[in-house]
Amino acid sequence: MTDRSLFGHIFVTGQSLLIIMPKETFHNLPEEKKSQFINTALEEFAGNNFDTASITRIVKNLGIAKGSVYQYFEDKLDLWLYLKEYCEGVKMSYVRSVSRRDYDSFWSYYRAMFRHGINFDLEQPRCSLFLYRVGFKESSRQVREYLDSWKKKANEAFMPWIEHEKKTGAFDPSVSTETIAHFLVTMSISIAELLQSRYKVDFDENIREGKPLFAADEEALMQAVDELIYLFEKSLK
């Protein structure tokens, strides 16, 4: 089995404003070293769950002393939280630009969100895989309280839109808003899994070799997306 995908986070919006900061020591690091640290740490946490990820391996890969990590961060959890917020920020920068106002139908808007999500995956594979793991694979007790919020948020973010689309007649008003929200969020996630199984992508291998997550070209991906959106449209009309 290869790790499965991502995309689930495309629709997260709420994102906390309180940025959890590492110690100033990390902040003061030259940009070059900082991004090298983030990259290496992200590689470890994208390929392992919280409990299995190893600080020892990270410092070995970086060629620095273990003590340095603890001058930058309080502990393993602090580092993990920083990486999480960092990646959420990166993701946001991809999705923020898509606004409902710029599209006349809900489904063209939905489709545009998806294309931006794919770009995020292509250009930020480590971020994307890490967030995927946080959202779907993680089950460590140490981070439990910090998980899962995004799925609820995604559901809630959809609800006002759904109510609106019901009024314009785009959505079937006899189905409860919650069920529709669940349906949309779930399918957004599942599209990525469909793409993965159809194109037989091995995310782990791509991560290890620094390649983008998807080898197939973007148009082929969007075609698969369109086929599924066709199903959604029919079911929610």
Q: Which residues bind a second copy (CB under 8 A)?
A: 1-3, 48-49, 51-52, 133, 136-137, 139-140, 144-145, 147-148, 151-152, 155, 172, 175-176, 178-179, 182-183, 186-187, 190, 193-194, 197-198, 224, 227-228, 230-232, 234-237
Give the span between the Cα atoms of 87 and 6, in whole angstroms: 13
Which of 24, 172, 218, 227 is close enough to bind DNA by CB under 7 A? 24
DSSP state of 21: P
> To 10 degrees, what angle do helices 31-47 and 125-132 make?
40
Q: Which is nearer to DNA, 65 or 215 (CB)?
A: 65
Among 4, 13, 34, 55, indicate the residue that binds DNA (CB under 7 A).
55
- Tell me the C-alpha distance between 51 and 49, whole Å: 6
Coarse DSSP helix, strand, coil percentages of the chain, rounded to the nearest 5 percent: 70, 0, 30
Q: Which is nearer to a second copy, 1 or 18 (CB)?
A: 1
- Which CB, 36 or 140, lies closer to a second copy? 140
**HSE toward the beta carbon, residue 197, CA cutoff 13 A:** 5
Residue 172 CB coordination number (10 Å): 12
Please provide residue 49's backbone torsions phi and psi, each rounded to the nearest 5 degrees.
Answer: -65, 165
Write out the two tokens for 205: 């291998």
32 vs 4: CA distance, rounded Å = 31
From the list 12-20, 61-69, 146-154, 200-208, the region that binds DNA by CB under 7 A is 61-69
Q: Smallest distance from the beta carbon of 234 to a second copy, in angstroms?
A: 5
In this chain, which stretch among 66-74, 88-96, 196-204, 227-235 interacts with DNA, using CB under 7 A? 66-74
Asked if 25 is part of the footprint of DNA (rule: CB under 7 A), the reply reads: yes
Note whether 169 binds DNA by CB under 7 A: no
Which residue is associated with the tokens 């990486």?
83
Q: What's the token pair of residue 53?
A: 């990820």
Please say which residue, 2 or 71, places its beta carbon nearer to a second copy. Answer: 2
Q: Does 20 bind DNA (CB under 7 A)?
A: no
Residue 87 corresponds to which tokens in the numbers above? 């990646």
> How many chain residues touch DNA (CB under 7 A)?
21
Residues near DNA, by CB under 7 A: 24-25, 28-29, 33, 53-57, 64-68, 70-72, 75-77
